[in-house]
Amino acid sequence: MKGGFGPAKRRWKGLAIGVLFLVFLSMLVPLAFLLGLHNGFHSPGLGTAQQTPAPNGIRTHGRYDSKNVPNQSESDKQSHNNDPVGKVRPTLPKETHRNTTSEVKNETVRWNATPNNQQQKGTPVHPGDVQSLPSTNHTTDSTVKSIEYRKGDVDESRKLCEQKFGSYCLWREENKEKMKDLMVKKLKDLLFVARSYYPTIAKIPTESKFTHEMKVNIQDFERVLSESTTDLDLPPQIEKKLQKMEAVIARAKSFPVDCNNIDKKLRQIYDMTEDEANFHMKQSAFLYQLAVQTIPKSLHCLSMKLTVEYFKSPLEMELSHREVFSDPLLQHYVIISNNVLASSVVVNSTVRHARESRSLVFHVLTDRQNYYAMKLWFYKNSYREAAVEVLNIEQLNYHDKTTSLHLSLPVEFRVSFHTHDKMHYLTTFSHSHYLLPKIFQNLSKIVILDEDVVVQHDLSALWSLNMNGKVNGAVQLSSVRLDQLKSYIGPGSLSKNSFVWMSGLNIIDLARWRELDLTESYWRLVREMSVGEVSAEGVALRANFLTFQGLIYALEDFWVLPGLGHDHGISTQAIRKAPVLHYNGNMKPWLDLGIPKYKVYWRKFLNREDPYLSQCNVNP
């Protein structure tokens, strides 16, 4: 029987030996791969990326290879060869960073030695040298090893900024401003996030203590923000509260929460914030209009102090050269204003640029409240040889006694059209302007200057103009026609081809005005149109244009440069060339809302050494 099983047993042993040999070979191939033999037979798709020298401070992605690292010590190479784990890390294809520095095409390699992608600090190296990191036994398929290039003495980021993004990038760095009330905004952001996570955390039964802690922090932040609107209002211990809230939010984010709940809460808070933003937008618009229409506190203080000083002063305020106020041979300028400082700038700028100040006479029409302040100011401040007269329009008897007489300033209308990209401010005469022919009965010609103008050239050429029977010499706004104002002034008999004229600088032929009795025509139009549905502003605008229709003498456009009270795009060259600057618009130069770059042309005609300005902190 033994002899019968001999050949079969030998065949079985042969098969067993063959199987063992195959098993040995199957283990030998991975072992060879682990021992580094794979370096001799790379697959085409996973080849070693060719490294190019990269500038200092630039990172891109590729495969780490010790042969591509210059100046590597033998000990580093030996430690790399002795690390079997490092040899099985997968070869990764190149990637592209989407940050600022990654858009440069030069590439370096970035590996990470720890599974948490935490970079370990190494010893400093020279630019171009590699800082290798110690290996670890923990590996994942996505780990890569980090290699950093130390920045040299030259700021490479600035060079890259200049090369890649051009001048805007450098301009952004040079003109970067610190955000105002940054801490308050940060507190609001943290409160926003904490509120969105709180409902979800509150539903976790095992986290009642943390829920209470989170609620306390939210309430604390709400109390702080209810009492503080700026960084200066914040309590001294706000830094600790901030760190505590950041820790609470970080812990809340570590919980497995339902994203739908977070999304719903964020949307609710967003809707509440949007409603709040709309409320503040409407409120800011109202406050803006209030600031525009209200005299600043400093100017009100100036008027009150001058008024008190007027009654305390024993000086005689009557001017000795009363006869010049009615001399028709002199150049008479009329200013209608209740603003002491603005009137002073108009007078001062006109006198400074006049060839002969002796022939200049100014008539300042104001109301009862500012009359004494105006009178004392122009008494104490001299303007070369020019004469200044202050009149209280409420004490004049040149109007219908049945109608109450109040000072009314030039009327401004903001209009815009779909066919134009720009917004326009139309400035027209007020009711007070139609009293001028009766107030100055001995004069045949005057020049009206609005309180928001600055004179930069001599205006004597206006007095020699031949107006060819016209009454009002004004600059026309050629970009706006009267037919485009139908929505503002209503239908009527206005000429469609006529352009809109502007107040600011107007030369008036008073003799021709009286001859045509334009004052009576104006008041008749006002009474007739006030019966309809047109607004009071529309009535005033339409009555002005109808009264002077066909009676406007068009001054050349170079005389007046308008828009300094609303247009931010006026060039410096145009401002310097203009004889008269008109700050029409809401942003007057004496307001905090005024456009800063235009204020300098108005400020230089202020007498900053005046003690009343310093006492009232007048610094427009």
The per-residue pLDDT for range 383-403, each reduced to its tens digit, is 999 999 999 998 876 555 444
Q: Would you give the distance in Å from CA 223 to the centre of its chain?
A: 30
Q: Tens digit of pLDDT for each residue in 8-53?
A: 566 667 777 877 878 777 777 667 666 654 444 444 443 333 444 4
Q: Check if the beta carbon of residue 218 is closer than 8 Å to that of residue 191.
A: yes
Closest CA to 325 of 276, 278, 361: 361
Q: Output phi, psi for 321, to 5 deg.
A: -95, 60
- Collapse the DSSP code of 411 into the 3-class scheme (helix H, G, I; strand E, B; otherwise coil) and give the result: strand
Q: How far apart are CA 417 and CA 483, in angstroms?
A: 12
pLDDT for residue 113: 37
Residue 288 pLDDT greater than 60, yes or no? yes
Read off the pLDDT of each residue in 458-474 and give the average, rounded to a whole number: 94
Res 157 pLDDT > 90: no
Is a pLDDT exceeding 90 seen at residue 374? yes
Residue type present at position 86? G
Confirm if 471 and 496 have CB atoms less than 8 A apart: no
Which of 418-432, 558-572, 587-601 is the least confident region? 418-432
**Dihedral sign of CA atoms 244, 250, 251, 253 in order:** positive
Q: Which three-class secondary structure state does DSSP give residue 233?
A: helix
Q: How many angstroms separate the Cα of 605 from the Cα of each of 261, 458, 570?
A: 63, 15, 21
What percent of the chain clears pLDDT 70, i.e. is strictly above it? 67
pLDDT of residue 35: 63
Question: Residue 590: pLDDT above 90?
Answer: yes
SS3 422: coil
> CB–CB of 452/342 below 8 Å?
yes
Q: What pLDDT, on the 0 to 100 scale, is given for residue 69?
A: 41
What mean pLDDT is predicted for residues 68-97? Answer: 43
Q: Find tokens 């410096």 and name the residue.
A: 572
| Full DSSP string of 505-526 | EEEEEHHHHHHHTHHHHHHHHH
Are 403 and 543 in contact by the 8 Å Cβ rule? The answer is no
- Determine the pLDDT at residue 486: 66
Helix (H, G, I), strand (E, B) or coil at 481: strand
pLDDT tens per residue, range 400-412: 544 446 788 888 8
Is a pLDDT exceeding 50 seen at residue 487? yes
447 vs 20, more confident: 447
Q: How far apart are CA 64 and CA 91, in angstroms?
A: 8
Q: Which helix (H) or strand (E) holds 302?
A: helix 297-312
Cβ 334 vs Cβ 436: under 8 Å: yes
pLDDT for 412 equals 83
pLDDT in tens, 202-225: 888 888 999 999 999 999 999 998
Statement: residue 598 has pLDDT above 50: yes
pLDDT band at 92 (very low <50, low <70, confident <90, very high): very low
CA distance 512 to 457: 27
Q: How far is it, in rounded angstroms, from Cα 199 to Cα 259?
A: 12
Structure tokens at 458: 């001599």
Q: Check residues 285 and 367 and name the one with the higher pLDDT.
A: 367
488-531 pLDDT, tens digit per residue, is 666 666 666 677 889 999 999 999 999 999 999 999 988 888 77
In Å, the largest CA–CA distance within the chain is 160
Return the closest-CA partner of residue 147 out of 76, 78, 242.
Answer: 76
pLDDT at 76: 47
The pLDDT value recorded for residue 210 is 93
Full-model pTM: 0.60
Separation CA 286–CA 294 (nearest Å): 12
| β-pairing verdict for 453-455 and 445-449 | unpaired
- pLDDT for 470 equals 95
Please, what sign has the CA dihedral across residues 282, 287, 289, 290? positive
Residues pairing with 366 in the sheet: 392
Q: Check pLDDT > 50 for residue 457.
A: yes
What is the pLDDT of the chain when averaged over all its residues?
Answer: 75
pLDDT band at 237 (very low <50, low <70, confident <90, very high): confident
Higher pLDDT, 499 or 600: 600
Mean pLDDT computed over 287-293 = 78
pLDDT in tens, 124-155: 444 334 333 344 444 444 433 333 333 344 44
Separation CA 60–CA 101 (nearest Å):
9
Name the token pair of 354. Answer: 């006049």
Assess contact for 605 and 454: CB atoms under 8 A.
Answer: yes
What does the DSSP 8-state code read for residue 172? Answer: H
Going by pLDDT thresholds of 50, 70 and 90, the confidence category of residue 317 is: low
Which residue's structure tokens are 């008494």? 379
Q: How confident is the model at residue 168 (pLDDT cuts 50, 70, 90)?
A: low
Per-residue pLDDT tens over the stretch 180-206: 788 888 888 898 888 888 888 888 888
Strands 411-415 and 331-336: unpaired
Report the SS3 class of residue 446.
Answer: strand
- 582 and 453 Cβ atoms separated by less than 8 Å: yes
DSSP 150: P
- Of 79-93, 259-273, 283-297, 327-341, which gets the smallest average pLDDT? 79-93
Closest listed residue to residue 500, CA positions, set 480, 483, 516, 528: 480
pLDDT exceeds 90 at position 290? no
> What would the mean pLDDT of 584-596 be, rounded to a whole number?
90
DSSP per-residue codes, 63-129:
---GGGSTT--HHHHHHHHT-TTGGGSPPPPP----STGGGSS-------SSTT-PPPP-----TT-
The predicted pLDDT at position 474 comes to: 95
For the record, the structure tokens of 494 come out as 């206005």
